[in-house]
Structures are given as C-alpha cells and as structure tokens.
Structure 1
C-alpha cells in the first residue's frame, strides 16, 4: 500500500506550475503600491562582526573563462589548508556582492536576479578561515562584513546531519548556506516569484563554482537536506525565510 503522504503530494509540482502561471495571478504588492521589503534582514544580535577586505584587494591569478568552465566539477575532498579571509571575501563578493543600492528598493549585484530583487541571505559555516573563529555567520552584503550567529562547536556535525550526513560539510573550509526571503521576490512577482527564487539560486552557485577556481578551491553544491531541521539550525522560521541551497568549499587537495 502506498504512503498516504506520498499520495497527497503526487502532482504537487505540476499544480505549483499551473497555479503560478501569469494568467492565474492577482496583482502583486508592487502593482498595488505597497512599499518594498528591506533589502537585507536587519542584524540585531549583539555579537562580533568581521570587516572583510575590499573585493579588489585580492591578487588573483589569470584564469581564462573557457578554462574555468572546462575545469568546473563538484569536489568533495578538501585539503586541511584554511582559506585566507581575503579569499572568502572574494567568494562572497562573487556570489552576492553589491555593486550599487538604488533608492532602498533594489540592488545591483554580481549575479543576475529576477527584477534585481536579490532575495537571498548568505549564511556561512566557517570551519577553517584565517582570522575567523569557527562558527555560523551571516554575510551582510550591504556592508560587506560578516556577522556572528553562533559559535556552537557542534554545529558542523549538526549541519552535516541536516544535510543527510554528507561528510564533506565537516571537511570543508566553509559551507555556504543560502536562505531565501520570499517577500523580497513576491513583492514584485506574486506567487510566481517562488519560481524565480530557485532560478536565482542556480545563478549564485554557478558563480561560486567558477570564482572558487581562481583561489584554488573546489565546490560541491547540495540540495538534499532536511528543510525543517536546517531552518531550525539557522534560526529561521521556514516561512518568511527558508534554506534553499547549500555548497561546500575547500582548498583543492
């Protein structure tokens, strides 16, 4: 006998696509003249922050784009060598760097996003980065700095377990955890915006793969995780903010 939960979910993907067709959508909040959500989730915790080196301050070896695309693979084995703080800053800038904020309504960044909505918050599980205490951090893209979330020493094990026990999370120098803030996207596009969140996640992670090669790192994207468990670990509610994609990073062995 089939699982009743499985039966109830059958066709959910097709139903989502049908119900988010343009012809089925009511006016968006933008169309109704409502104010746009904040460009970044405010950081209110009284904990340490880390000022990051300017993106242009890192000297990178010349890397041909064709060569980078040709060499791009998922890498799960990493050397014990830590990342330099400037290298982490470069990867953060490459994936969510803000080039310009326009009127508090939208930002222009280093990756494409539907309507320049840029609906992600970047969390980092830091294991080995020079000058940064291991723990969980959030990238404050508008200020280009890291904000501490937790120094729980058990977090690497818990996050690996939440990602269905994938061991390269513990071996990584840094694990990127991208959380979506759907209101930033649905303000313009309504429920169809949920489609665009997943498209944007692909843009961000591909930039990470290509940029990582320039600093001698490998990357492995992860989409298999326990949603509820991971949202709890990030201290987000799973509704107004939820984990959408994960990627490990480490120096090539």
Structure 2
C-alpha cells in the first residue's frame, strides 16, 4: 500500500459526521469550462494593530447577503492563506472558494492559485452550490447563511515525496496556521467569519473536484 493510500484510509476512517450525509450528485453544479481564470487584485492594506485584531477575533454567524468585495477575498487568500507557514515551504494548502451570494464572482466553485507573480482563481464549477452544500453539512441551514465558503485542502502528493506518512499530522498544522491567519485577516477587514468542521469530507472533495491526493482539512464561512 502506498503512503498516500495509507493516509487516505486513516482519513476516511475518521470521516464520521454527527449526521451521516450522502448528498445527491444531481445537486452538484456542473463543471466549468477549462481555462476560465480570473487574476486576483492586490490585497488591501490594513493598518490595525495585531493586539487589537487578536482581541477582537470571534467566530461570527451574522453574514450579509452579498459576497465580500473581490479585493477582500484576495486579501483573505493572499494574506491569510498565502503568508501562513508551511512545513518545508511546500505548497501543502490548496484553497478554494465556494460562492453563493451576488457579487463580483460567479456562483460556483473557484480554486485559488497563489503562486506569484500572477495569483488567480480558476473556475471549477458554475452554478448555485447551496443545495449540495446543505446536504454536505451537519447543520444544513448554515449553507444558506454565508455568501462565500473558503475550503482548505491539504495536498498529500506534494509533500509525501519528501516526508513520511507521519507528515499527515503536519499538514493539518499547516491548514490550521492558514485558518488562523485567515480569521485574523477577516477580523481586520471587518468581515464575519466562522470555521466549520461538521461536514462530510468526501462530499466536499466532490464539490471542489479535488484530485485524489488532496483532502479537505477545514472550511470557513465568510460574509
């Protein structure tokens, strides 16, 4: 058994949500045409003290109907995920946006590529994901409350070539660092954000159309 297969077996064995869910594949938005990408704008400059932001950060559940501005979403990705430490400096965290509400991004799924000099978003699925989202969460009504969800994938294939399967644990630390940085950026921008861990892993992997070597480590509702 390969290292990836062993890690996958452990991950799948732990995928037990409070309410087992198997979303109907018919609820999935269709895959988007290949090659549809959008360049991310530069992140906003935030002039707030670290201590102030740390003390203010809270999980918040009241979201607006519209998406945050694209500049704010770019700030979450570039400053929140993009600057977080990663073991070996490897591209271990794969961020995606699941978009529902009206705004600058089309509803659907967008995968972020944060590599410089041209970080951007690639369209993965096109269409309203709300029905599938609701069926993939332990708390289905939560799906319709946030206009955007940020999913943090962890890439086994880019890291197990250097590290043993034990690194599976470190990948979660990488994702956790990205999550905390993203929450602090959201707080500094005045955005509501709430980490969510009650979901079906396989369902989210299908929604995000992830390759076999990428697992979902956590999602954040943003608005």
TM-score (norm 1): 0.70
Where do residues 193-232 of structure 1 align in structure 2 (5 Å cutoff)?
193-232=167-206
Q: How far apart in 2 are the matches of 1:129 and 1:146?
A: 17
Q: 1:123 and 2:123 equivalent?
A: no
Where does residue 73 of structure 1 map in the other structure? 58
Q: How far apart in 1 are the matches of 2:41 and 2:58?
A: 28
Q: How far apart in 2 are the matches of 1:84 and 1:93?
A: 14
Q: How far apart in 2 are the matches of 1:117 and 1:249?
A: 26
Where does residue 137 of structure 1 map in the other structure? 110
Where does residue 39 of structure 2 map in the other structure? 51
Provide the secondary structure at the position in 2 that maps to 1:111: coil
Where do residues 76-115 of structure 1 align in structure 2 (5 Å cutoff)?
76-97=61-82, 110-115=83-88
Q: Which has the higher contact order (CA 8 A, sep 6+)?
A: 2
Structure 2 unaligned spans of 5+: 1-9, 15-31
Q: Assess if the C-alpha contact under 8 Å between 2:65 and 2:102 holds in 1.
A: no
Q: Which has the larger radius of gyration?
A: 1
Q: Assess if the C-alpha contact under 8 Å between 1:164 and 1:224 holds in 2.
A: yes
Q: Assess if the C-alpha contact under 8 Å between 1:221 and 1:246 holds in 2.
A: yes
Residues 129 and 206 from structure 1, CA distance in 2 versus in 1: closer, same or farther, beyond 3 angstroms?
Answer: farther
Structure 1 unaligned spans of 5+: 1-8, 14-43, 98-109
Q: What stretches of structure 1 move > 4 A for 4+ residues in a row?
A: none
Residues 175 and 191 from structure 1, CA distance in 2 versus in 1: closer, same or farther, beyond 3 angstroms?
Answer: same
CA RMSD of aligned residues (A): 2.2
Q: How far apart in 1 are the matches of 2:147 and 2:191?
A: 10
Q: Deviation of residue 134 (structure 1)?
A: 1.4
Q: 1:151 and 2:136 equivalent?
A: no
Q: Assess if the C-alpha contact under 8 Å between 2:53 and 2:184 holds in 1.
A: yes
Q: How far apart in 2 are the matches of 1:115 and 1:47?
A: 30
Q: Assess if the C-alpha contact under 8 Å between 1:180 and 1:197 holds in 2.
A: yes
**Count of aligned positions:** 193
Provide the secondary structure at the position in 2 that maps to 1:246: strand
Residues 159 and 81 from structure 1, CA distance in 2 versus in 1: closer, same or farther, beyond 3 angstroms?
Answer: closer
Q: Assess if the C-alpha contact under 8 Å between 2:112 and 2:119 holds in 1.
A: yes
